[in-house]
């Protein structure tokens, strides 16, 4: 089976012939027809997450999949061969840059009706990230104000639409060329991060930050008292380290790394949380309903072939992409 494998950190992915997936009793074997490229894949390739994601190399990468069920384990009851599905495989089951993948039934959901495989393949990781930040962690309510950084990116395009669906006032940052596009998605205010001053904002209830650094620090100052900033870039915080079961050395290092931002948050009487999204088939079903009723639409920036993945992945850190890059595989 063809797969794109990470053999050494900071080196390009290489194509390998790997064994067919083992299908456990609770697994769904999926023919990969589309797979989104994510910044997370590139960060793993660069070795930036080795402390919290200690993968043994070689490792097939890829965190999004849309495709057709080929087989199911003996205990699977929700799916059958021929079903069209989508998934964000759990951390220990990643590997969608391949022809086939086995995923636990609990992390698989029926593909939303009315969208293509490429569109479905663009969504799982970013849609779950937006959902878990705004709904699960943020508790965003109608009438509140949310600031979403990098609104034209993979997570941002979905988060803007979800926040508008929830009835929030949506403020987002982007380049000027994406302003009209983001207003079409539902943004009420678009801040040009090249020229506009974020400090002019105030009274924000929730921030979804995918940039980090000075942008995150400034974001704390625009929150109202009691507000919350959720970071998906980092730094990780002690609560995450504890929930992830990391060893004492890593937990201590994370506490030190995040101390500055946590102190700044406490001084401003706001809170900061790090979010590392988790796989969840039930949440994908809820998101699918929003897609089918038109509340959320996928944003595919471009599609590529399997052979183009290594080059496309290596350019992701530069940013500037609108929506998602998706690889599509021929059905054989």
100 is written with which tokens?
């086939």
Does 182 share its domain with 105?
Answer: no
In a domain, residue 289? The reply is no
Q: How far lies 16's CA from each of 3, 13, 38, in Å? A: 5, 9, 21
pTM of the model: 0.96
Residue 270: helix, strand or coil by DSSP? coil
Does 134 share its domain with 184?
Answer: yes
Does 238 share its domain with 142?
Answer: yes
pLDDT at 318 exceeding the cut of 80:
no
Round to the nearest angstrom and report the end-to-end CA distance of the chain: 12
pLDDT tens, position by position, 246-286: 899 999 999 999 999 999 999 999 999 999 999 999 999 99
In a domain, residue 280? The reply is no
pLDDT band at 97 (very low <50, low <70, confident <90, very high): very high
In a domain, residue 288? The reply is no
Does 241 share its domain with 145?
Answer: yes
In a domain, residue 129? The reply is yes
Number of structural domains in the chain: 2
In the DSSP assignment, the letter for residue 250 is H
Does 160 share its domain with 267?
Answer: yes
Following DSSP, what letter does each residue of 304-325 receive, concatenated? E-GGGHHHHHHTGGG----SEE
In a domain, residue 64? The reply is yes
Does 92 share its domain with 222?
Answer: no
In the DSSP assignment, the letter for residue 64 is -
Element (H, E) at 189: strand 189-192
Element (H, E) at 223: strand 223-231
CATH number where 155 lies: 3.40.50.720
In a domain, residue 103? The reply is yes
Q: How far lies 121's CA from each of 62, 84, 311, 327, 331, in Å? A: 11, 11, 19, 8, 14
Instruction: Count CB neighbours of 170 within 10 A.
Output: 26
In a domain, residue 283? The reply is no
Q: Which residue has better confidence, 244 or 265?
A: 265
pLDDT tens, position by position, 5-18: 999 999 999 999 99
pLDDT at 305 (0 to 100): 97
Does 72 share its domain with 92?
Answer: yes
d(CA 95, CA 4): 8
pLDDT band at 196 (very low <50, low <70, confident <90, very high): confident
d(CA 127, CA 9): 27
Does 106 share its domain with 178?
Answer: no
Vertex 159, ends 264 and 44: CA angle to 5°? Answer: 70
**Mean predicted confidence (pLDDT) in 157-171:** 98
pLDDT at 76 exceeding the cut of 80:
yes
**Mean predicted confidence (pLDDT) in 78-85:** 98
**Mean predicted confidence (pLDDT) in 139-159:** 97
Buried b (16+ CB within 10 A) or exposed e, 93-125: bbbbbbbbbbbbbebbbbbbeebbbbbbbbbbb
Does 36 share its domain with 76?
Answer: yes
Does 133 share its domain with 47?
Answer: no
Does 93 share its domain with 66?
Answer: yes
Angle between helices 154-165 and 124-131 (to 10 degrees): 50
Residue 232: helix, strand or coil by DSSP? coil
- The closest of 291, 278, 282 to 78, measured between CA atoms, is 282
In a domain, residue 281? The reply is no
Domain that holds residue 99: 2-123+298-328
Does 136 share its domain with 30?
Answer: no
């Amino acid at each position: 089976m063809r797969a794109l494998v990470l053999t050494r950190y900071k080196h390009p992915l290489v194509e390998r012939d790997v064994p067919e997936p083992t299908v456990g009793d609770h697994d769904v074997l999926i023919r990969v027809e589309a797979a989104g490229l994510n910044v997370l894949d590139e960060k793993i390739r660069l070795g930036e997450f080795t402390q919290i994601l200690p993968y043994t190399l070689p490792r097939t990468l890829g965190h999004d999949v849309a495709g057709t069920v080929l087989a199911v384990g003996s205990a699977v009851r929700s799916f059958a061969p021929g079903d069209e599905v989508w998934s964000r495989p759990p951390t220990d089951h990643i590997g969608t840059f391949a022809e086939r993948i086995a995923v636990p039934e609990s992390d698989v959901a029926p593909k939303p009706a009315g969208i293509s495989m490429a569109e479905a393949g663009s969504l799982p990781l970013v849609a779950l990230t937006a959902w878990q930040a705004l709904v699960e962690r943020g508790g965003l309510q109608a009438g509140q104000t949310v600031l979403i950084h990098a609104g034209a990116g993979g997570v941002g395009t979905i988060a803007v639409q979800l926040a508008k669906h929830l009835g929030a006032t949506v403020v987002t940052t982007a380049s000027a060329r994406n302003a009209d596009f983001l207003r079409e998605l539902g943004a009420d205010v678009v801040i040009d991060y090249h020229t506009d001053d974020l400090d002019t904002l105030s009274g924000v209830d929730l921030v979804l930050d995918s940039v980090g650094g000075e942008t995150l620090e400034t974001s704390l100052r625009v929150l109202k008292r009691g507000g919350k900033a959720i970071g998906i870039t980092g730094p990780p915080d002690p609560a995450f380290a504890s929930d992830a079961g990391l060893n004492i050395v890593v937990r201590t290092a994370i506490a030190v790394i995040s101390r500055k931002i946590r102190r700044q948050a406490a001084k401003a009487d706001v809170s900061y949380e790090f979010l590392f999204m988790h796989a969840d088939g039930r949440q994908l079903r809820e998101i699918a309903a929003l897609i089918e009723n038109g509340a959320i639409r996928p944003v595919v920036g471009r599609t590529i072939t399997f052979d183009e993945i290594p080059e496309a992945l290596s350019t992701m850190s530069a940013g500037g992409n609108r929506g998602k890059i998706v690889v599509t595989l021929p059905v054989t």
